[in-house]
Amino acid sequence: MEMTLRWYGSKHDSVTLKQIRQIPGVKGVITTLYDTMPGEVWEEADIKAMIDEVEAAGLKVAGIESVNIHDAIKIGSPDREQYIDNYITTLERLGKAGIHMVCYNFMPVFDWTRTELARVRPDGSTVLAYTQEAVDKIKPEEMFNSIGSDMNGFVMPGWEPERMARVKELFEMYKDVDDEKLFENLKYFLERIMPVCDKYDINMAIHPDDPAWSVFGLPRIIINKENILRMMKMVDNPHNGVTFCSGSYGTNLENDLPDMIRSLKGRIHFAHVRNLKFNSPTDFEEAAHLSSDGTFDMYEIMKALYEIGFDGPIRPDHGRMIWDEVAMPGYGLYDRALGATYLNGLWEAIEKSQTRGL
């Protein structure tokens, strides 16, 4: 595996490449052209500038998170052809620039959803949290207003104000899209892009829906083992793979994370590893990465990744806000650096115990 950190670019991130470079074992970043809109073709010059900046800091671009999918593709409207063509051009340019992993999601309207961005934990740190009870009490168009003021002045990915202003309109656009239709549209998209992925060896890594169930009645399909295996089979190409995100699949306590990892052998192209603490099955908060701080057995998750021979980029995921840091919620430096170090420690122990036959 290749340990990385997500970075939003010097214009948007409070964390610098220099700081990332000093986290032991982190050799690369996962980034994106944050100023592009879904559906746009990425300019070659912008891709090059992004790579040059990262390389000048002694790091590499280990993959893109995300090249976002235009709603027309998810809805399956006639104008999707143009947006798929644009996506293919972007992939081609990324492939030519030496990028081989692209993360994306197929969630309608909302990307990841949280009801609190700064819940205080017993140790005084603050974390992102979710309760179904809070979602049930508000209308989708109120979602942004209810958490927007806690973003510490940053624009969070998937929560761009321009997009949130269109929530009502987006719901209307998705009104005829159910789970089956969404699967069908995903299959159509993947079949169209696989040739360019084959040509440039680009691993597509779909991110799970977070939380892993329907929110506000919207269809959500990337939520469990059954659905993800269906997706792997429906476009049976190794470039059609997944981002294994423990914190997203893990929102549903019925998902057996190590078992899911083993069943996806060869198709996990990217891993997000983090822990959650459950107060009830529908009330969870994001804990430190350490197993004992939350609900998941992080050792078993890393061991499953090791055993399937996972060799792609991995990153610690959302961190707690600690040590008075002011940053984008979930994406500060300190707790993610602790997370990377912990995951590296688990990996080293697993690797040495397996190779030395202990």
What angle, rounded to 10 degrees, do the helices at 225-234 and 179-200 form? 50
Task: Identify whether 272 is a catalytic site residue.
Answer: yes
- Cβ-based neighbours of 211, under 8 Å, separated by 6 or more: 113, 130, 248, 251, 252
Q: Which residue is nearest to ligand DNO (CB)?
A: 66
Q: Choose the catalytic residue: 100, 269, 289, 318.
A: 318
Whichever of 310 and 331 has its CB closer to ligand DNO, that residue is 331
C-alpha closest to that of 211 among 302, 138, 111, 293: 111
Q: Choose the catalytic residue: 70, 245, 289, 335.
A: 245
Whichever of 157 and 258 has its CB closer to ligand DNO, that residue is 157
- Minimum CB–partner distance for residue 4 and ligand DNO (Å): 13
- Are 16 and 10 contacting, i.e. CB atoms less than 8 angstroms apart? yes
Whichever of 17 and 204 has its CB closer to ligand DNO, that residue is 204
Task: Identify whether 317 is a catalytic site residue.
Answer: yes
Cis omega (within 30 of 0) for bond into 66: yes
Q: Choose the catalytic residue: 71, 111, 210, 317.
A: 317
- Minimum CB–partner distance for residue 112 and ligand DNO (Å): 5
State both tokens at 348.
Answer: 């080293």
Task: Identify whether 318 is a catalytic site residue.
Answer: yes
DSSP state of 43: P
- Minimum CB–partner distance for residue 177 and ligand DNO (Å): 18
- Minimum CB–partner distance for residue 128 and ligand DNO (Å): 9
Whichever of 252 and 307 has its CB closer to ligand DNO, that residue is 252
Q: Choose the catalytic residue: 70, 207, 269, 289.
A: 207
- Are 215 and 113 contacting, i.e. CB atoms less than 8 angstroms apart? yes
Whichever of 140 and 330 has its CB closer to ligand DNO, that residue is 330
Give CA separation, 300 vs 62, 246, 346, in Å. 25, 11, 10
Cis omega (within 30 of 0) for bond into 211: yes
Whichever of 152 and 307 has its CB closer to ligand DNO, that residue is 152
Residues engaged in binding ligand DNO (CB under 6 A) = 65-66, 103-105, 111-112, 157-158, 207, 318, 330
- Cβ-based neighbours of 255, under 8 Å, separated by 6 or more: 212, 224, 225, 249
- Minimum CB–partner distance for residue 70 and ligand DNO (Å): 13
Buried b (16+ CB within 10 A) or exposed e, 130-159: bbbebbeeeebbebbebbeeebbebebbbb
- Minimum CB–partner distance for residue 354 and ligand DNO (Å): 29
DSSP state of 312: S
Q: Choose the catalytic residue: 8, 104, 249, 331.
A: 331
- Please tell me the distance from the alpha carbon of residue 300 to that of residue 1, in angstroms, as a whole number: 16
Would you please indicate which residues are annotated as catalytic (active-site) residues?
Answer: 207, 245, 272, 317-318, 331
